[in-house]
Amino acid sequence: MKIRLAEEKDIEQLIRMRWDFSIEHDETGKVQFTPYPDFEQGCQVFLENALRGDQWFIWVAEEDGKIVSHIYIELIQKVPRPGRITHPFAYMTNVYTIEAYRNKGIGSKLLTTINQWAKEKAYEFIIVWPSDDSINYYKKNGYSHSTEPMEYFPE
């Protein structure tokens, strides 16, 4: 199992995995009616920009050339503060492992790599909104459950 940052050669696999992830967790039933080529085009542009920039980091676990798990990290820059060095924090999203590879420790290895990377880069913290099913996964990998943030939904 190889853990690494995604590259442009991975885009096709990442698009398919995002589609599969969305279908698997679609509570509305609407995703299946979205034309794949429309989604593919938009996702392609997002991934190309993400991989070329310095705001997104897409970590993958690869086995024999096949991506089996991934975690997306977006860096959030903080406003400078007098008398204090500010470090960005990381927002974790799109955490997904292909079903046949789940419960084999792959996600934990990927998360351990990300945790070490964040420590080496001196990021202030990593934030993730876990599903109810994934809370134990994060807890066993050093994450603590916090209270919910406040939200505002403009209408």
Q: What is the pLDDT of residue 155?
A: 83
Q: What is the pLDDT of residue 27?
A: 81
CA distance 77 to 60: 23
User: What does the pLDDT average to over 31-59?
Assistant: 94
In this predicted model, what pLDDT tens digit does every residue of 116-138 receive, in sequence order? 999 999 999 999 998 888 999 99
User: What does the pLDDT average to over 92-111?
Assistant: 95
Is residue 154 pLDDT above 80, yes or no?
yes
Residue type, 152: Y
Strand ordering across the sheet containing 126-127: 2-5, 56-63, 66-76, 89-97, 126-127
DSSP state letter for 127: E
Query: Tokens representing 37?
Result: 């080529």
Domains of the chain, start order = 2-140 (3.40.630.30)
Query: Nearest to residue 21, comparing CAs of 66, 71, 73, 92?
Result: 71
User: Which span out of 58-67, 132-141, 146-155 was modeled with the highest average pLDDT?
Assistant: 58-67
Q: What is the pLDDT of residue 28?
A: 84
Q: Work out the pLDDT band at 70, boundaries 50, 70, 90.
A: very high
Q: What is the pLDDT of residue 2?
A: 97
3 contacts 61 by C-beta, under 8 angstroms = yes
Q: What is the pLDDT of residue 96?
A: 95
Question: Percent of the chain, pLDDT > 90?
Answer: 76
Is residue 147 pLDDT above 90, yes or no?
no
